[in-house]
Structures are given as C-alpha cells and as structure tokens.
Amino acid sequence: MADARFTLLNRANEIGANSYLLEIGQTRIVIDAGMHPKERGPLALPRYEEIPHDSLDAIIISHSHLDHVGTLPILMRDQPSARVFMTPATSALADALLHNSVNVMKSQRTELGIEDYPLFTHRAIEELFPRIEPRDYEKPFDLDWSGKTSATFYDAGHILGSAGVLLEGNGTSLFYSGDVHFEDHSLIRGARFPELGDRSLDALIVETTRGDAPRNPQYSHQKEKERFIGDISRCLSDGGSVLIPVFAIGKTQEILTMLHGHQKDGSLQDAPVYIGGLSTKMTVIYDKFSDSTRRSCPGFKILRDMNPITGNRRGRRRIPLERGAIYALSSGMMTEKTTSNGFARGFINKPENMLLFVGYADPDSPGGKIRAAQPGDRIRLDEELPEVPLNCGVNIYDFSGHAPRDQLLEFMQKANARKTILVHGDSSALEWFGNQIERSVIPSPGKPLHI
C-alpha cells in the first residue's frame, strides 16, 4: 500500500492562504505558499508553525497569484534546505509581485499600524530567489537529491506560467490541478493536462472555486465578448468613458488583448486605452514570454503592438479622466489605495460613464459593494474619504480564469482517482462536489489525510 499523506495548511478550508503538505514516503513537499487576501499580519500566513524547521525536501509553486505565492519568502527562510520549483514565467511574475507586496505591507504598517509588517523585505527576496529552479512544462524533474520522487508541470491555462503538477514516487501517483481553466482565453490557451484516467491515480487534489453555482447553459465566451465590446462601443459613442477594474496578473493582459483584437477588426472604435497600477510591470513580463509560451495570439506583444498609455503606479492624479477613453486599472476588486479605487472617485458619479467588472470581487470589497448597489446609492470607496454617488452604468461579465463546475466535475470523473481531495473553495462549493464524486474528501485544516 502507498505510504503518502496530505495535510491542508490553510487556517480554514477556503480560498485564502493556500498551502498543502505532501509526504510521499520520506519525501516532504509543500505545494503553494499563499497569503490570505482578507487577513493581516501572522493570520495571513498558512500554518507554517506546524512544519518543523528545515524539514522539507521541496517547495512547489503552481502560479503567481498572491493567494498561492504571497508568503514564499517566509517558507523559504524557514526551510533553507528545500529545493524550490516553479515554471520560468511564474518565477518572473512572482518576483515582481512579492516586491510589490513589500511596498504594500510597508504602507499598511504606517496607515493601519500593523507592527508585524512587512513580513519580509526586498533584500530577503533578492537573497532567496536565486534558490529557485525553474522547470518547463511536460519535462519530469527530481524533487529530492535522492531521485526517489519526481514531478512534472502541465499547463493549467489559468494565467501565464500556471501549472498543474503530477507527483510520482514510492509507488504513489498524485495530481494537483492548481487553479485551472480548460477553455482558451483571448491570450492564454486553455489547460493541457495528461490523460489522468490512464495513470491509476492514488489521489487527485483539485480546486473547487466555482462549485457553488452552475454556469448558464446558454453561456458562450464569444457572445460574452460581443456583449462586453458592444457596451464599451455604445458608451464611447455617447461621449462617456469606460473603467474596467482588473487584476494585475492575468485579467489585465486578457482584456487588453481582447480590446486590441476588436479595435483591429473594426468592431470597436479606436480610443485611448490607459493601464495603471501594478498591471504595467506585469504586462512587461507577459510580453517577455510571448514567444515561449502557448498563446492564442502567438508573438503578440501588448505594449509594443497595442501601445496602451501607461499611468504612473503611484499616481492616480497622473491618469487624466477624458471623454471617450478606456481605463483598465488595477486592482480588480477596487481595493482601497489602489489605482482603480482612486480613479473611481471622479468617475462613478458621472452618468455618461460605465464601470465594467470582468472578474471576481469579494462582497466586502469596494468593487463588491458597487456590484450590489443600486443607481444613485452612495458608495464608500475609502473609509477615510467621503462617499461618492453611483451614477454611472455598471455591468458584470463572466471572463473567469477558473473552470466552471460542470467542466471540473467531468475532469474529476475522467481522472477516476482512488481519492479526490477537494480544496480551494467555499463551503457550498466543496459540499456540492463532495456530493457528486464518490471517494471524495474535504480535508480538515492541520489534520493529516492518508492517501
């Protein structure tokens, strides 16, 4: 019988500080090292205190979103002998994201009085990152120096560099999906996973993000794009401007590619396109990998071929509000002190404008509150500033980077693993999949699960 264990290192079974301990024989591996986006200080970390110092053989990072990589410097510091693996694109994006995170934590120390911040420094990142060993897709590599356990990355189709991971060793075979999207995006191609049903998997560890509700059976990505572009076109024609809050990694680049394609074929009128916040730096990295990753638009470089107007990251005052312009600004949830939040103060009160949401927004975030509001409601964008009336139009579109639940269910069924471990989802999503999949389990935080 295989000797393997799985332990959920999240402090709660949710989408948050995602991190998982795998023990395969004598090999100890942590997959992902996230930071919880809604917690502050030590509570934003996974349960690293339960991992003995310098006891890991390897650390694997599936992709560069904050909830999967945000505490990597802390884990690497505590595990000095662990080898660290991720794809080359994830390494580049994570480096930029973590340096930005230091700046954010420094600001929060001053503004919110969080004495524990920053949790790590710019110098720590610079000293630790040379330990990273980038690995390409579909090329197996050893996780430990003994060669007893191997891993293989497969393109997960979520964002640039995202990976699912096949782990094999000690008679055990496991697959971790990471955040996955099976359909092609405007820029990034959909996941390319192996035929797992042929591998007699001992365990499939799989995200359940969108499991709480089905996607509309009439949904069509093409029709959703047409609705999105049509709304932008009408707003611009009527003399308004469009604000699209976007996440810096993934959503920014997908939306810019979409806009460029429709401007190029004439279905969207030419208009100045502004980007701002961390998005610009991440788009530079996306362009760097344009010739070496699977793309729906091979060789397309956003900053070269589209030439958007890049705003200063620190300067919401430097991005002018003009009529007939498109603003794709981070963050996607319009979090306080971000570029999209600051810009919105002089934007959402104007009835000729439109605010278009293309991704998830937590209900407690400023973006989430706007989505739940009615026209004319007063919105608190920043707790330190007066409310602003919501007079502009608001629309929401489904361009999620996560697979809908019917596709995830089909993926789980085809994998036919001896055990399916459900992670990365709200309780309703976890429970729905748990009721659909035989031999599935919802792990409890901190309690080892035998595979």
Using alpha carbons, list the distances in angstroms from residue 133 to 60, 65, 95, 147. 10, 19, 13, 16
CATH code assigned to 4-213+401-450: 3.60.15.10
So where are the chain's domains? 4-213+401-450, 221-396
Task: Tell me how far apart the alpha carbons of residues 184 and 65 are, in angstroms, rounded to a whole number.
Answer: 19
Task: Tell me how far apart the alpha carbons of residues 332 and 256 are, in angstroms, rounded to a whole number.
Answer: 14
Q: Give the phi and the psi of residue 272 in degrees, each rounded to 5.
A: -65, 135
Virtual CA dihedral for 180, 183, 185, 187, nearest 10 degrees? 90
Task: Tell me how far apart the alpha carbons of residues 363 and 256 are, in angstroms, rounded to a whole number.
Answer: 25
Angle value at C-alpha 59, between 54 and 63, nearest 5 degrees? 150
Strand partners, 393: 354
Percent of residues, the chain, with pLDDT higher than 70: 98
Residues sharing a CB contact under 8 Å with residue 312, sequence separation 6 or more, in sequence order: 276, 318, 319
| Amino acid 277: pLDDT | 80
Contact 131, 84 (CB under 8 A): yes
Task: Tell me how far apart the alpha carbons of residues 273 and 246 are, in angstroms, rounded to a whole number.
Answer: 13
Torsional class of 113: left (φ above 0), alpha (ψ -120 to 50), beta (otherwise): left
Closest CA to 327 of 360, 358, 372: 358
Element (H, E) at 104: helix 88-112
Element (H, E) at 107: helix 88-112
**Tell me, what DSSP letter sits at residue 188?**
B
Q: Give the phi and the psi of residue 318 in degrees, each rounded to 5.
A: -90, -10
Using alpha carbons, list the distances in angstroms from residue 234 to 204, 326, 382. 46, 12, 30
Q: What is the mean pLDDT of residues 380-406?
A: 95
The model's pLDDT over 2-43, given as tens digits with 9 standing for 90+, comes to 689 999 999 998 888 999 999 999 999 999 999 998 899 999
Using alpha carbons, list the distances in angstroms from residue 283 to 7, 64, 69, 80, 93. 35, 14, 18, 32, 10
- Out of 3.40.50.10890, 1.10.10.60, 1.10.760.10, 1.10.10.410, the CATH code matching 221-396 is 3.40.50.10890
Q: What is the mean pLDDT of residues 352-362?
A: 95
Task: Tell me how far apart the alpha carbons of residues 268 and 256 are, in angstroms, rounded to a whole number.
Answer: 13
Task: Tell me how far apart the alpha carbons of residues 140 and 190 are, in angstroms, rounded to a whole number.
Answer: 21
| Amino acid 312: pLDDT | 52
- Asked if 4-213+401-450 and 221-396 have one fold, the answer is no
pLDDT band at 421 (very low <50, low <70, confident <90, very high): very high
| Amino acid 315: pLDDT | 42
Is residue 169's pLDDT more than 50?
yes
The model's pLDDT over 264-293, given as tens digits with 9 standing for 90+, comes to 999 999 999 999 889 999 999 999 999 999
Q: What is the mean pLDDT of residues 388-404?
A: 97
The model's pLDDT over 323-340, given as tens digits with 9 standing for 90+, comes to 999 999 999 999 998 999
Task: Tell me how far apart the alpha carbons of residues 350 and 3 are, in angstroms, rounded to a whole number.
Answer: 62
| Amino acid 76: pLDDT | 98
Q: What is the mean pLDDT of residues 145-162?
A: 95
Residue type at 343 in one-letter notation: F
| Amino acid 260: pLDDT | 96
Is residue 316's pLDDT more than 90?
no
| Amino acid 2: pLDDT | 61
Averaged pLDDT of the chain? 95
The model's pLDDT over 422-432, given as tens digits with 9 standing for 90+, comes to 999 999 999 99
Contact 430, 208 (CB under 8 A): yes
Structure tokens of 291?
A: 């010739």
Is residue 317's pLDDT more than 70?
no
